[in-house]
Structure 1
């Protein structure tokens, strides 16, 4: 951002466009790690580790929604069709993310 004098939004948009272009052209995925920063990665082991970390971060966000918002909503309105539907869907996504984030994949 600093070197190009771009805003955070512009930088994020540019990285998204670069990821899309890489996918269209069959380039390796663009990922970010602490050790290397942004880089194209063709290592199966490194990609699987990055994907597990990504899934784990999303799992944490889903758990926060469940415990902080959805569970209290259901406690207040246990017959809410919307809250019950959302709870079912989020629990399914949570189970999938738990499997994806596990090291035994």
Structure 2
């Protein structure tokens, strides 16, 4: 499906998303698209948090003066912060 998304976008077709009840389908509903995007972002947020705590944290603990690990940690935390903002439901 990932390879289909770019050609669909180039042709101006609605986005292809997956839903529990209907499977893969073209989606023109703003509410459904927002729900799908927030779920996708929430999944990525979990992956980033696992990377920070499971890999980068122990790396920094072992090599606290590592320039690369410090830079990577700062960048990943910035991404985590941005994902957390967009993944939460609107107020």
Unaligned runs of 5+ in 1: 1-14
Corresponding residue number in structure 2 for 1:3: none
**Partner SS state of residue 17, structure 2:** strand
TM-score of the aligned structures, taking structure 2 as reference length: 0.95
Match runs of 1:1-105 below 5 Å: 15-104=1-90
Report how far residue 18 of structure 1 moved.
Answer: 1.6
Displacement of 1:69 = 0.7
Aligned residues: 91
Moved over 2 A (4+): none
Match of 1:39, SS? strand
The alpha carbon displacement at 1:78 in A equals 0.9
RMSD (Å) for aligned C-alpha atoms: 1.0
| Structure 2 stretches lacking a partner, 5+ long | none
Q: Which has the higher contact order (CA 8 A, sep 6+)?
A: 2
Structure 1 residue 21 displacement after superposition: 1.0
Structure number with bigger Rg:
1
Normalised by the length of structure 1, the TM-score is 0.83
SS in 2 for 1:31: strand
